Amino acid sequence: MERVLLERKVLSENERIAAGLRARFADHNILSLNLISSPGSGKTSLLERTLESFDRSERVAVLTGDIQTENDAKRLARFGFPVKQITTGGTCHLDARMIERALLDWHLEEIDLLFIENVGNLVCPASYDLGESAKLVVLSVTEGEDKPLKYPSIFFKSELLILNKIDLLPYVPFDIAAAEENARSLLRNMQIVRVSCQAPQGIAAWLAWLDRKRQRSRAATSAA
Amino acid sequence: MHEMGIANAVLDAIRAETHRFPNGHIFKVGVRIGALAGVDPDAMSFCFEALVRGTELEPLVLEIEYCPCRSQCRACGRSYAASREDAICPACGMMESLFLGGDELELSYLEVENGARVVGT
């Protein structure tokens, strides 16, 4: 009997493809954001508010993942930007190969900002690098304020927490201060914005964060 | 529930290694799973057994090393188990810590019978 050391990531194939995507995004100066949340937290609604705020000249594109249906892509296509649905057919997350395939017939040189809306799930998407610049996690106030503690992996890996549906706060027993404290207990520097996509409310704060992120990303690219 | 996919990735990696042991049989694989990896060890074992059953890889044992979150105190340098950034250092009571690990999802080793004649790398 002999022990042979391997010492590599289990998802090394996904990591390899994700590294290739990251390099291509960098070559084309694309800021790519991976949006993750439970089903029904409002990722698509947030993207609707975001896309409708953009001038048509903005070079923005969206990949949206779901197990079935093209519904989200239809919702998002109305704004005139390139949108593609990825239907996983049962898989509970997007992986790097799905992104690679979805981008095959897109011209990356025509994109500055790519949103990737993951399959609604707080567990599995945390394990799969999509080559994104940053992960963003959406949590709605109709969920529990302890979700950051229940699903630490995704909150730990996210740069921004978007607390959505804050117009419902008067009607639900959600302690927003506790939710933010729970998120920051995992990640002290977690940035947080509070929004309602229906009211709408707080969207300006989200767009300001996005704008700062795009500026930092451009500055980093031109310095490189 | 993505453990089936993860277990499949482990088996793909093992299949890619079999050519190195032409006369050997891989009978155990060691995998490290961190507390923050988002992978449930029990579900992982269940999926692994289901995928191995009836294949050429049988019998194959999965050994999971579960890795807790580890932090290092920025003040005194002591390493300790902690799953949150605001955990307090057991040595000096400081709250400033550096994340050391706990998100592993790694293949660590194979155990091979008659594997002495390893071919290449």
Band of residue B118 on the pLDDT scale cut at 50, 70, 90: low
The DSSP code sequence of A157-223 is: H-SEEEEE-GGGGGGS---HHHHHHHHHHH-TT-EEEE-BTTTTBSHHHHHHHHHHHHHHHHHHHHH
Domain ranges of chain A: 12-214
Domain ranges of chain B: 3-68+101-113
| Spatial separation of the C-alpha atoms in residues A164 and A39, rounded to whole Å | 13
From chain B, the residues in CB contact with A147 under 8 A are none
Span A118-173, pLDDT tens digits:
999 999 999 999 999 999 999 999 999 999 999 988 999 999 999 999 999 999 99
Higher pLDDT, A155 or B97: A155
Q: Which CATH class is domain A12-214?
A: alpha beta
Minimum-distance CB partner of A124 among B9, B12, B38: B38
| Both tokens assigned to A51 | 């896309």
B3-68+101-113 adopts what CATH topology? hypothetical protein PF0899 fold (3.30.2320)
Global pTM exceeds 0.80:
yes
Q: What b/e readout covers A102-133, taking b as 16+ CB neighbours within 10 angstroms?
A: bbeeeeeeebbbbbbbbbbbbbbbbbbbbbbb
From chain A, the residues in CB contact with B83 under 8 A are 152, 186
- Radius of gyration in angstroms for the set of CA atoms belonging to chain A, rounded to a whole number: 18
Interface of A with B in 149-168 (CB under 8 A): 151-154, 156-157
B2:A185 CB<8 A: no
**Is ipTM over 0.90?**
no
| Spatial separation of the C-alpha atoms in residues A155 and A135, rounded to whole Å | 9
